[in-house]
């Protein structure tokens, strides 16, 4: 049998240049296990509706299972002349079992077949990446116990702003990752609709049972419109977007920790196992893992942009342009998974430089906002209080001292209502304890959130 895709209307063989240009098996072979699963489910359905005999069904299932085992063992030869993973598997099946194998493609097309395989692959990737995100959340939650009473400066515009508990800081990343996981869950629902049986673009006259296939493959439902099924890859773009958002969150975290590891900040020490040295400067410990996570985010962002551009003007229904979707999605999923696998042990093994943080925690007047809100609590309008405390900060800066070091006379000169009780909200410890709003860095509220996160992640385990 010729190593050419089936196509009886052609009078000339495919030009070798086009053959090389158009093949996709060099990358879509990653879908082989899913292609076999989908084909087995399809064969069982064809037997149930009378298109195949039970004997033919069993021949097909056995033949496909043997092929899957050979692929898993690395013993299967993929042929570029057969274009893609689907034709490679089907042609090999026909070569081995004859006409029963020729009946397998009844009621389907490569258009709905590839969409099915791709959805199955993405569904598994979603589950895998969700598990990696949960593992990273556990690493951050574990840090809350290690750094329970540590106060760090919070920043806006990369300028010192207000004091926050380190545990509050770690939980902020848990919340970001929680939303990433929610996006994956939402995406999974739309991915998990079966296109198989919509055929090339209009459906089939064969009385197939699509719901039977959906049930066997674990799909929640079937795609409702054959034209839509054949033409769209929005499920892949949505997955690529979610991966991009995850990468952006990881990149922001990496950037923050890169700064924290500098001599200038000296807030954090990374495990030596996740740093590299310099070829010329013997003292260097470079945070290359973090830098590469930040750098690889560009690949994920670029892949999403490529997919958007790829699909922006395609007419109904299937177009061969869609072959170009897989490499971009494969790369994004691989990249994000690798970043997450690296991130969790880095988070778990890092050490806050508590002495360095503590020695400089009073710099930057982190308690100024708390003092302003103290004035508000005794009846001073916010804008007035803002101006008064700004003047007090200017005075403290001239004296090169903390707000807490100013004499009571300075406070009373600023506003007559201020007395010795003002010192009860000054200093980072008191400032942190003074917070009252829900979701704030108040120690009791943070402790409650830590317990909620521990219970949530334990329940998932």
Q: What are the tokens at 21?
A: 């240009």
pLDDT for 170: 98
Q: What are the tokens at 333?
A: 């999923």
* CB-based contact 80:25 (threshold 8 Å): yes
pLDDT for 1: 55
CB atoms closer than 10 angstroms to residue 136:
27
Antiparallel, parallel or unpaired: β 221-222 and 193-194? parallel
d(CA 77, CA 200): 27
- Sketch out the chain's domains with CATH numbers: 16-106 (1.10.275.10), 111-358 (1.20.200.10), 365-450 (1.10.40.30)
pLDDT for 187: 98
Segment (H or E) for 160: strand 159-165
Give the three-state DSSP class for 193. Answer: strand
Q: What stretches of 232-319 show up as alpha helix (H) in DSSP?
A: 234-260, 288-311
pLDDT for 16: 83
pLDDT for 75: 97
Specify whether the backbone of 83 is left (phi greater than 0), alpha (psi in -120 to 50) or beta: left
Q: 326: which strand partners?
A: none
pLDDT for 4: 60
* CB-based contact 350:273 (threshold 8 Å): no
Is 26 marked active-site? Answer: no
Question: What letter does residue 276 receive in the DSSP assignment?
Answer: B
Q: What are the tokens at 230?
A: 């054949």
* CB-based contact 145:414 (threshold 8 Å): no
Q: What are the tokens at 261?
A: 């590891």
* CB-based contact 287:200 (threshold 8 Å): no
Question: Among residues 2, 157, 279, 437, which one is catalytic?
Answer: 157
Residue whose C-alpha is closest to residue 247's, from 166, 136, 326? 136
Q: Which long-range contacts (CB under 8 A, 24 or more apart) does 331-334 make?
A: 331/299, 331/303, 332/240, 332/243, 332/244, 332/247, 332/299, 332/300, 332/303, 332/304, 333/122, 333/125, 333/129, 333/239, 333/243
Question: Among residues 55, 145, 149, 278, which one is catalytic?
Answer: 278
Residue indicated by tokens 């063989």 = 13
Segment (H or E) for 331: helix 325-349
For the chain (461 residues), the mean pLDDT of every run of 10, in chain order, is 62 80 90 98 98 98 98 96 95 97 97 96 98 98 95 96 97 98 98 96 96 98 94 95 98 97 96 90 91 98 97 91 93 98 97 95 94 92 94 95 94 90 93 94 96 96 81
Dihedral sign (CA 108, 111, 116, 121): positive
Burial of 326 (0-12, 13-18, 19+ CB in 10 A): buried
What pLDDT, in 10s, does the model give residues 184-227? 999 999 999 999 999 999 999 999 999 999 999 999 999 999 99
| Close Cβ partners of 32 (under 8 Å, ≥ 6 residues apart) | 68, 71, 76, 85, 89
Is 86 marked active-site? Answer: no
């Amino acid at each position: 049998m010729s190593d050419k895709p089936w196509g009886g209307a052609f009078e000339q063989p495919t030009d070798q240049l086009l053959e090389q240009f158009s093949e996709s098996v060099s990358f879509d072979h990653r879908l082989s296990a899913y292609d076999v699963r989908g084909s087995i489910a399809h064969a069982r359905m064809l037997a149930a509706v009378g298109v195949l005999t039970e004997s033919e069904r069993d021949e097909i299932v056995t033949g496909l299972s043997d092929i899957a085992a050979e692929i898993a063992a690395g013993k299967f030869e993929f042929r570029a002349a057969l274009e893609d993973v689907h034709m490679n598997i089907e042609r090999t099946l026909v070569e081995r079992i004859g006409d029963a194998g020729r009946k397998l493609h009844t009621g389907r097309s490569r258009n709905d077949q590839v969409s099915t395989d791709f959805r199955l692959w993405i569904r598994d990737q979603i589950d895998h990446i969700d598990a990696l995100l949960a593992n990273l959340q556990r690493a951050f939650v574990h840090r809350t116990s290690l750094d329970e009473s540590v106060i760090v400066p919070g920043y806006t515009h990369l300028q010192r702003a207000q004091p926050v508990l380190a545990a509050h800081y770690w939980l902020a990343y848990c919340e970001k990752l929680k939303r990433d996981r929610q996006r994956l869950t939402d995406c999974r629902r739309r991915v998990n609709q079966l296109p198989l049986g919509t055929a090339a673009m209009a459906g089939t006259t064969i009385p197939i049972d699509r719901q039977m296939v959906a049930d066997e493959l674990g799909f929640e439902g079937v795609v409702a419109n054959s034209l839509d099924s054949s033409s769209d890859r929005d499920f892949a773009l949505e997955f690529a977007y979610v991966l991009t958002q995850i990468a952006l969150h990881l990149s922001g975290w990496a950037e923050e920790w890169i700064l924290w590891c500098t001599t200038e900040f000296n807030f954090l020490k990374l495990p030596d196992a996740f740093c590299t040295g310099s070829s010329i400067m013997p003292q260097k410990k470079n945070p290359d893992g973090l830098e590469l996570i930040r750098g690889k985010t560009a690949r994920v962002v670029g892949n999403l942009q490529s997919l958007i551009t790829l699909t922006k003007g395609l007419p109904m229904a299937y177009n061969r342009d869609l072959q170009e979707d897989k490499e971009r999605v494969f790369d994004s999923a691989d990249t994000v998974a690798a970043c997450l696998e690296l991130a969790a042990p880095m988070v778990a093994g890092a050490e806050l430089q508590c002495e360095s943080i503590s020695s400089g925690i009073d710099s930057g007047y982190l308690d100024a906002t708390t003092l302003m809100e103290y004035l508000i609590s005794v009846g001073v309008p916010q804008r007035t209080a803002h101006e008064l405390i700004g003047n007090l900060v200017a005075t403290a800066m001239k004296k090169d001292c903390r707000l807490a070091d100013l004499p009571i006379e300075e406070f009373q000169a600023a506003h007559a209502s201020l007395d010795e009780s003002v010192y009860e909200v000054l200093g980072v410890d008191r400032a942190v304890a003074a917070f009252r709003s829900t979701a704030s860095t108040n120690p009791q509220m943070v402790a409650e959130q830590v317990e909620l996160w521990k219970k949530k992640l334990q329940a998932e385990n």
